[in-house]
Amino acid sequence: MFGLGASEMVVIGVVALIVIGPKDLPGLFRTIGQFTGKARMMAREFSRAMDQAANEAGVKDISNSINAAANPAKFGTEKLKEATGITKGPETQKLSEERQAAKEKMSKAMADAALERQARERAEAEAAADAAEASAEPEIAPEPVAAPSPVAPDPEKKP
């Protein structure tokens, strides 16, 4: 009603519980509910009274006649078009055929472009998949080469 969500209602309830206390809280909520009910009842009565006054003044009849006059199906525009007998002339027919041919040509060109784009995207996806597959394969490490052993000092040689 006031645009309050569930979380806001919980906060209001907790604050009311703290401020008013658990003893008087049910009575307060009952009073608020009664006040809300009376306000809604008064709003309904006001709306009914306004509708009744409008009906007595003939506003509804006038609005119905305006809506009926504004409706083209009831107004008879279809019969008017039939009575005038408007048909396409040879030049209009020729333009219509040219436009249809241009439309078909553009549709074909767009379809071809879409097929080319799909093929290109498919090829790019396959290339990316191949590259990912190649990089995912473990590389074979070269066999370790033994490091040269240090030369043992010659025991006969003295410095």
pLDDT digits (tens, 9 = 90+) for 101-157: 999 999 999 999 999 999 999 999 999 888 887 776 555 666 777 666 666 666 676
Instruction: Dump the DSSP string for the chain.
Output: --S--HHHHHHHHHHHHHHH-TTTHHHHHHHHHHHHHHHHHHHHHHHHHHHHHHHHHTHHHHHHHHHHHH-HHHHTHHHHHHHHT----HHHHHHHHHHHHHHHHHHHHHHHHHHHHHHHHHHHHHHHHHHHHHHHSPPPPPPPPPPPPPPPPPTT---
Domain ranges of the chain: 1-74, 89-131
pTM of the model: 0.34
* The predicted structure's pLDDT at residue 11: 92
pLDDT digits (tens, 9 = 90+) for 47-65: 999 988 888 888 778 888 8
Q: Which amino acid is at 96?
A: S
Distance from C-alpha of 79 to C-alpha of 73, rounded to nearest angstrom: 9
| Burial letters 92-119, b for 16+ CB under 10 A, else e | eeeeeeeeeeeeeeeeeeeeeeeeeeee
pLDDT digits (tens, 9 = 90+) for 4-62: 788 998 998 899 889 988 899 889 889 999 999 999 999 999 999 998 888 888 877 88
Contact 25, 16 (CB under 8 A): yes
Q: Mean pLDDT score of the chain, rounded to an integer?
A: 82
